[in-house]
């Protein structure tokens, strides 16, 4: 009975991928200046980890996050990050370890109503801004990343699911059944 309940609860955990796309942004990466290109932040999380902070605010810590900077390449974030929604506007911020006050890094777009980070949505486009990058260092595998505080158009997309929609705990009995079937066929072949 416990095994069945464990499989059922694990089967409802869902991976979610957030994409925050900015039309332009400038700053420094490891001390080298860049300016004006498109920025795409991609982050992976689990819907089981979403925290209801209250008052229409939800946040989820990322399992992994990367940033593609036009003309520079793709870099993985080393500093912990999260995606949040606060009364209808979404953002990307420093990790708050489940709390409310992770300093925002990219805000926007707004107008997402009662979105709570648990479902697929978007693309949704609107105004937003880079902010608070100088509050403390944001580390990537390419060095310290800092954006200038500027406004930009942002497109936000969230996609629930993965390449494999069969969670590992639920796939294990299928794997065992397949092995049993192969053993049965092999036994019949030897008997013939």
Q: Which residue has the higher pLDDT, 20 or 183?
A: 20
- Evaluate if residue 4 carries a pLDDT over 50: no
This prediction's pTM: 0.77
Rounded to 5 degrees, φ, ψ at 159 are -130, 120
pLDDT (0 to 100) of residue 99: 54
Q: What pLDDT score does 135 carry?
A: 85
pLDDT bucket at 186, cuts 50 / 70 / 90 = low
Nearest to 59 by CA among 110, 109, 101, 106: 101
| Residue 167, pLDDT above cutoff 60 | no
Q: For the segment 27-65, what is each residue's pLDDT rounded down to a tens digit?
A: 999 999 998 889 999 999 999 999 998 889 999 999 999
Q: Residues 63, 28, 151, CA angle at the centre, nearest 5°?
A: 80
Residue 126: both structure tokens together: 């609107």
How far is it, in rounded angstroms, from Cα 71 to Cα 144? 17
**Token representation of residue 129:** 């801004």
Could you tell me which of 113, 107, 65, 66 has the C-alpha nearest to residue 90?
A: 107
| Cβ atoms within 10 Å, residue 157 | 16
Write the pLDDT tens digit of every residue in 78-128. 999 999 999 889 999 999 875 556 789 999 999 988 899 999 999 999 999
Residue 2 pLDDT: 34
Instruction: Examine the pLDDT at 1 and tell me if it is beyond 70.
Output: no
């Amino acid at each position: 009975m416990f095994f069945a309940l464990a499989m059922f609860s694990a089967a409802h955990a869902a991976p979610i991928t957030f994409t925050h796309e900015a039309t332009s942004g400038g700053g420094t990466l490891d001390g080298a200046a860049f300016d004006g290109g498109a920025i795409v932040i991609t982050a992976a999380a689990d819907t089981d980890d979403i925290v209801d902070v209250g008052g229409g605010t939800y946040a989820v810590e990322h399992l992994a996050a990367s940033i593609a900077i036009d003309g520079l390449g793709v870099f993985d974030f080393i500093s912990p990050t999260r995606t949040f929604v606060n009364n209808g506007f979404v953002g990307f911020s420093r990790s708050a370890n489940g709390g409310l006050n992770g300093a925002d890094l990219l805000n926007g777009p707004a107008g997402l109503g009662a979105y709570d980070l648990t479902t697929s949505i978007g693309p949704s486009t609107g105004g937003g801004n880079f902010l608070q990058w100088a509050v403390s260092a944001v580390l990537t595998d390419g060095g310290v990343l800092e954006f200038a505080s500027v406004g930009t158009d942002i497109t936000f997309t969230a996609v629930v699911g993965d390449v494999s929609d069969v969670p590992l705990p639920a796939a294990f009995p299928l794997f065992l059944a397949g092995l049993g079937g192969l053993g049965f066929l092999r036994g019949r072949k030897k008997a013939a």
